[in-house]
Amino acid sequence: MRLVLVRHGQTVSNTTNALDTALPGADLDETGKQQALMLAQNFEHVTGTKPSALYVSPLNRTRQTVAPLEEKFGLTATVREGIREVIAGDLEMSSEADDIRVYLETLLSWIDGDLDARMPGGEDGWQTRARFGNVLNEALSDARDNFGADATVVIVAHGALSRFIASTLSADISTELVARFPMHNASTTVLEWIGNEGDAWIGDRSLWKALTWSDKPVSEFPLTGEPVVPQSSQLRD
């Protein structure tokens, strides 16, 4: 079983560093539309697999990113609220550096294990993990039942949420990695299940091997072990 996390293509909110997390969200800009087309064209080459099932966040930018994948592979994506972006709450649509820092610090607190931390006016880590966990359990179990142990589930979602998902599943995805090297627009992260049939999909971080992060082998990222200080340039929502 493989899980491929896909970050949506570029929007104007990305170029302005706006915390755009509410429905329906910005559309893809012209660059983002081209990125979505290239994602579909190169998907098998970049990921080494082809999708058995597609799941997508309900926001406009993710729906528009998944459309070329649907067309290429003859699949219809399942829309799930649980994989929408980490909700910015009171910080929604802000591009202020202090607000972006708070957003990132809260996200990284969750990744470090402090799930009690709450986004101002938004969710805590437990709530966010529960909603994406429900989608993962559904998607992975259904794919195994319908397509077998070699199935590939593709989740088309968002930068911050993908950081939280990947680090929750795999010990190969560290806080430093996701903080210093956010996923690029329309990039992929590939995780491979190495657990047994009776094991829970979520909980034991040794049961998912991270093959790539943002289209590159995890081993190629120059990690230093230094403490992470969030910067606005690391947003990539």
CA distance 141 to 145: 6
The CATH number for 83's domain is 3.40.50.1240
> What is the pLDDT, as a whole number, of residue 237?
57
Query: E-strand spans in 98-207?
Result: 152-157, 188-193
pLDDT for the residue 224: 86
pLDDT at position 36 is: 99
Mean pLDDT per 10-residue run, the chain (237 residues)? 99 97 98 99 98 99 99 99 98 97 97 98 99 99 97 99 99 97 98 96 98 98 82 54
Instruction: Give me the phi and psi of 174, to 5 degrees please.
Output: -90, 165
Cβ contact 223:177 at 8 Å: yes
Is the distance from CB of 20 to CB of 11 less than 8 angstroms?
yes
The pLDDT, as a whole number, for residue 194 is: 98
- Secondary structure (3-state) at 167: helix
Calpha distance 119→90 (Å, rounded) = 8
Residue pair 163/111 in contact (Cβ under 8 Å)? The answer is: yes
Tokens standing for residue 52: 């058995």
Give the pair of three-digit tokens for residue 93: 């649509």
The count of structural domains within the chain is: 1
User: Quick one: pLDDT at residue 181?
Assistant: 96
Task: Find the domain containing 185 and state its range.
Answer: 2-234
